[in-house]
Amino acid sequence: MSTYDKQIYEHLGKRLRQLRKAKGYSLAQVAERLGKTKKTVQRYEMGMHRMEISTIRQLADLYEISYDELMQDIQQKMSMPKIYGDHQNNIDFLSDKPELLSLYQDICEKETLALLFDSAKDLEPSDLEMVLTIIRGIRKERGID
């Protein structure tokens, strides 16, 4: 896990622990509801384990908070952009390529697609351009665009 990822999961874990305690749940109760071990839930709360989005959603539901609200809490704590990588640099680089810029912005606005850029956060803008060109080509081939 990168340092940045560790920070995200540490903040997320702290927030999940606060929510669990506020609801009066024990680690064992949460673990049972998730179908996980108590140790796994404890590691989530300590920021030691990555969590699947589905697990985060289950926890948000259990604690009666929306997934979006939970993630906004974490974003505010981290003062991080919604998108991984240098979002503004990517926009600047793509500004003279309106079709690719539009595709990039569409992807960034959709939570499930934004995860694509989590995997590409270390790419240079020119590499990102190549990825977007491939995506655009596939979409055109399938008649989506």
For 24-75, what is each residue's pLDDT tens digit?
999 999 999 999 999 999 999 999 888 898 999 999 999 999 988 888 877 7
Q: Where are the domains of the chain?
A: 3-78, 87-141
More confident residue, 140 or 73: 140
- State percent of the chain over pLDDT 90: 33
Average pLDDT, the chain: 83
Which superfamily is assigned to 3-78 in CATH? lambda repressor-like DNA-binding domains (1.10.260.40)
Angle between helices 53-62 and 67-78 (to 10 degrees): 110
d(CA 130, CA 56): 32
On whether the CB atoms of residues 12 and 41 are closer than 8 A, the answer is: no
Whether the full predicted model's pTM is greater than 0.85, yes or no, is no
Cα first-last separation, the chain: 36
